[in-house]
């Protein structure tokens, strides 16, 4: 214990040397240059068009001039346009058809495929593989299925001497046809989100449930579903945001027909702005869609925030 004597007395800092401690979390202005490139493109490609679109929606504009301020004129014309109202209804109808189906089938697939067998792994890949296809390929495939007389569906119905439902031309079935193609195309993401949620449930609470005499149904209802409740809400909201933007499938499968019954808002915007060159009204329709999607996104924000708050 003699070594303590050997230690020199604590040295005082030499005069002129400031022993300042550094706050490594303090903001440094030079760090700004690292985000500047991103900020530039974010501003130019997202913020400017966003506000330009808003500005346009209050003006009478075509390709050659964006002139007179018309106030809410474009919006008033919009809400008097039966085709627009039809397209809003179509979009809601499409969201209603696809989102619950995607959530429920995605959940069902995830529950079935959440196991460590080779078959499950192959099937997971298979179900996800449709998501990587482009919308052109997807609609091509489903046109081949749906096409009257020679399509896959017609052929199968033909074996039983029946006539296939006309998913592309029948006014009451056309949107359902687009929804079927969309569900087939988009099922991968919900399934993967549900799978990752299911895999995060600790195994031991299933063991505790087994010791608690829970049968399969009780385990599903009382353990599994409550554990993935937030993922379910997340999937629903993400899908609402995505499916509100329906365009490619409707454009490529039915061109919005028959009789505008499958024309979604985005297709209406495209028609108005780039085929009739009524940019002001197209911009106004875009703002309506923007608000609809914004509401869904806000809902997602609130849900994820309350999740963080509870954790």
Partner 1 sequence: MTADIEIRNVSKHFGAMTVLDDLSLFIKAREFIVFLGPSGCGKSTLLRMIAGLETVDTGEIAINNERIDHLPPGKRGIAMVFQSYALYPHMSVRDNMAFGLENIGMPRDLIDARIKESARILEMEHLLERKPGQLSGGQRQRVAIGRAIVKEPKAFLFDEPLSNLDAALRTRTRIELAQLHQRLQSTMIFVTHDQVEAMTLADRIVVMNNRKIEQIGSPMEIYDRPATKFVAGFVGAPAMNFVEAMLDRSSRNATARFADGIAVQTEIASDQTIDGKYTFGIRSEDVRIVPAGQGNADGVVDVLERLGERTLVYARLGDGQQIVGSDAGNSRVAVGDKVGLAFDGRKSHLFGETGRAWHAREV
Q: Which residues bind partner 1 (CB under 8 A)?
A: 202, 204-205, 207-215, 218, 222-223, 226-227, 229, 310-311
Q: How far does Cα 236 stand from its chain's mean position?
A: 9
We find the least distance from the C-beta atom of residue 278 to partner 1, in angstroms, to be 52
261 in Cβ contact with 90 (< 8 Å): yes
Angstrom distance (rounded) from CA 209 to CA 216 = 10
Selection from 225, 192, 185, 191 nearest residue 209 by Cα: 225
Q: Which helix (H) or strand (E) holds 60?
A: strand 59-61
List all residues 6 or more positions away from 208 whose beta carbon is below 8 Å from its beta carbon: none
State residue 59 phi and psi, 5-degree precision.
-125, 155
Asked if the peptide bond before residue 89 counts as cis, ω within 30 degrees of 0, the response is no
Of 26 and 211, nearer to partner 1 (C-beta) is 211
In angstroms, the Cα distances linking 30 to 33, 34, 35, 41, 43 are 6, 8, 10, 19, 20
Calculate helix-pair angle for 118-129, 82-113, nearest 10 degrees: 170
We find the least distance from the C-beta atom of residue 7 to partner 1, in angstroms, to be 19
We find the least distance from the C-beta atom of residue 106 to partner 1, in angstroms, to be 21
Dig out the tokens for 15 from the structure. 């005069």
List all residues 6 or more positions away from 140 whose beta carbon is below 8 Å from its beta carbon: 252
DSSP assignment, residue 167?
A: T
Angstrom distance (rounded) from CA 241 to CA 98 = 12
Of 77 and 307, nearer to partner 1 (C-beta) is 307
Angstrom distance (rounded) from CA 210 to CA 232 = 24
Of 134 and 215, nearer to partner 1 (C-beta) is 215
We find the least distance from the C-beta atom of residue 234 to partner 1, in angstroms, to be 16
Of 20 and 311, nearer to partner 1 (C-beta) is 311
We find the least distance from the C-beta atom of residue 116 to partner 1, in angstroms, to be 14
We find the least distance from the C-beta atom of residue 221 to partner 1, in angstroms, to be 11
We find the least distance from the C-beta atom of residue 111 to partner 1, in angstroms, to be 18
Of 80 and 216, nearer to partner 1 (C-beta) is 216
Of 20 and 211, nearer to partner 1 (C-beta) is 211
We find the least distance from the C-beta atom of residue 233 to partner 1, in angstroms, to be 14
Of 13 and 202, nearer to partner 1 (C-beta) is 202
209 in Cβ contact with 223 (< 8 Å): yes
Of 93 and 206, nearer to partner 1 (C-beta) is 206
């Amino acid at each position: 214990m003699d070594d303590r004597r050997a230690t020199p007395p604590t040295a005082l800092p030499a005069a002129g040397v400031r022993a300042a401690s550094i706050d490594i979390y303090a903001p440094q202005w030079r760090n700004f240059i690292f985000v500047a490139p991103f900020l530039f493109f974010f501003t130019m490609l997202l913020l400017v068009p966003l506000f330009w679109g808003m500005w346009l929606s209050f003006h009478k504009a075509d390709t050659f001039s964006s002139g007179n301020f018309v106030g809410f004129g474009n919006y008033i014309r919009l809400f008097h346009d039966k085709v627009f109202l039809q397209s809003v209804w179509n979009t809601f109808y499409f969201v209603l058809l696809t989102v619950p189906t995607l959530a429920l089938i995605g959940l069902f697939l995830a529950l079935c495929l959440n196991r460590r067998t080779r078959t499950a792994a192959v099937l997971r890949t298979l179900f996800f593989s449709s998501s990587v296809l482009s919308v052109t390929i997807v609609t091509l495939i489903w046109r081949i299925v749906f096409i009257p007389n020679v399509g896959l569906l017609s052929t199968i119905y033909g074996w039983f001497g029946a006539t296939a439902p006309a998913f592309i031309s029948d006014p009451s079935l056309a949107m359902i046809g687009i929804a079927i193609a969309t569900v087939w195309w988009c099922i991968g993401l919900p399934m993967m989100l549900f799978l990752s949620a299911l895999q995060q449930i600790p195994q031991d609470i299933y063991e505790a449930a087994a010791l608690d005499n829970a049968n399969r149904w009780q385990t599903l209802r009382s353990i599994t579903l409550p554990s993935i409740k937030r993922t379910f809400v997340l999937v629903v909201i993400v899908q609402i945001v995505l499916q509100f933007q329906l365009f490619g499938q409707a454009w490529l499968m039915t061109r919005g027909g028959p009789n505008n019954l499958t024309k979604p808002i985005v297709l209406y915007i495209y028609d108005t702005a780039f085929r009739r060159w009524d940019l002001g009204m197209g911009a106004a329709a875009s703002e309506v869609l923007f608000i609809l999607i914004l509401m869904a996104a806000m809902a997602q924000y609130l849900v994820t925030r309350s999740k963080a708050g509870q954790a």
